[in-house]
A = this chain, B = another copy of it.
Amino acid sequence: MSELHAARRERLRERCSAAGLDAAVVTRPANIRWLTGRSPDTAEGAALLLTRELALLAATPTAREAPNWPGSGGAQGSAEAPADPDGLREVEVPLGADPAVVAAERAAASGVGVLGVEEHALTVSRHREAGRFLSPGRLADLDRAVERLRVVKDDEELACQRIAAEIADQALGELLESILVGRTERHLAMELERRMVDHGADTPAFPVRVGTGDHSGVAGHLPGDRRVEEGDFLTVSLGACYRGYRTAATRTFVIGGPPEDWQKELHALVFSAQRAARESLVPGRPCQDVDLAGRQVLRDAGRDGGVLRPAGYGVGLEIAEDPRLGPGDMSRLVACVPVTVGQGVHLPGRGGVRIEDTLVVRPDEEGGPELLTITTKELLAL
């Protein structure tokens, strides 16, 4: 694995050179993980300094206790460990010190002229502190270089996401076999989280969402004390995190007897909207097409009222990363990019339907989009 990370760091070095940067300090946890395999729990936990010769990971004592911090033989205190076989050195910063500042100081000491930092991930205060060691104007913006490198996934990353999706599918499948009536949204959510961990997830990819009755079909509804009742719609949004990689899926079911007509119609509408969105996942098309295709189906049915969120996002080490698939997103879809694609309609006071998948963009000649979240999207009556 560490050879892979070294190769990624090399790609970032090339980007930096091309952009006129002598070195970079990376602070965003997901970016650090992608470049080193190690992940601090917080944004202030670690910073990676990458010069032409050096890869130095500065981290707090707490960050180095995190579960995603493989035993590294790193030094305690501020001593510096020898580099690993692929050239990564690790240093523990003193209590209370900011790893970004330590990394910038080290860059200055190494004679770095222009240092790229993540202006979208560094607060103004930390940026000011980091800049103290360099002449004015010598801090530049990395301009989301690591995020852009991370968009297209390699086979190993996709393999992790396939497993993450399977774990969530298993957990959901088991839950659906149990008695649901009378249980609260919160309880169902916690059971799903536990089952995913039982099946090998590091953690849930995000807090599981469960909405029943009037709460069904609401994107992002956090579970509360409402109990599942006969005749309810039940919407579940879940995903697992496996070796850092995430997926998301949303499904809507009916509780008890056969669905009523309005429920069947609403489900069929959302199903076709989400299918239209999925079918627009074609390399070379603008990202916004995915959103517009789904939205058009809802609009034609007079149901586009409250859809304020984009149809989806890229998904990988983070649950909503580049690209965004929303109105106005004109960048082009690219193969080997996993994205979420969701559509939903909520009728205030009655409930609604939401359906969401994680798929990998693939060209037609490879069979089109690869569905990772394979659990059925049928309107099951539970």
Give me the interface of A with B, judged by CB distance under 8 Å: 61-62, 65-67, 76, 95-96, 117, 119-128, 141, 186, 190, 193-194, 197, 218-222, 224, 306, 308-310, 324, 326-328
Closest to A94 in B: B308
B67, B194, B222, B324: which contacts A222 (Cβ < 8 A)?
Answer: B67
Contact A122 B119 (CB under 8 A): no
Tell me, in angstroms, the Cα distance from A309 to B276 when the chains sit together. 53
Contact of A61 with B309 in the complex, beta carbons under 8 Å: yes
CB-defined contacts of A67 to chain B, threshold 8 Å: 222, 224
Residue with the highest number of chain B CB atoms closer than 10 Å, among A67, A96, A186: A96
When the two chains form their complex, are residues B326 and A95 in contact, meaning their CB atoms are under 8 A apart? yes
Closest to A65 in B: B220
Q: Are A186 and B190 in contact (CB under 8 A)?
A: no
Taken together as a complex, chains A and B put the C-alpha atoms of A126 and B120 apart, in Å, by: 7
Nearest residue, chain B, Cβ from A190: B194
A221 adjacent to B306 (CB under 8 Å): no
Contact of A122 among B124, B308, B310 (CB under 8 A): B124
A222 touching B326, Cβ below 8 Å: no
CB distance from A118 to the nearest CB of B (A): 8
- Indicate if the CB atoms of A122 and B120 lie closer than 8 Å: no
A338 to B204, CA, bound (A): 31
Q: Which of B117, B122, B125, B219 contacts A65 (CB 8 A)?
A: B219
Within the complex, the shortest CB–CB distance from A75 to chain B, in Å, comes to: 13
- On whether A221 and B96 interact (CB within 8 A), knowing A122-B123, A124-B120, A125-B119, the answer reads no
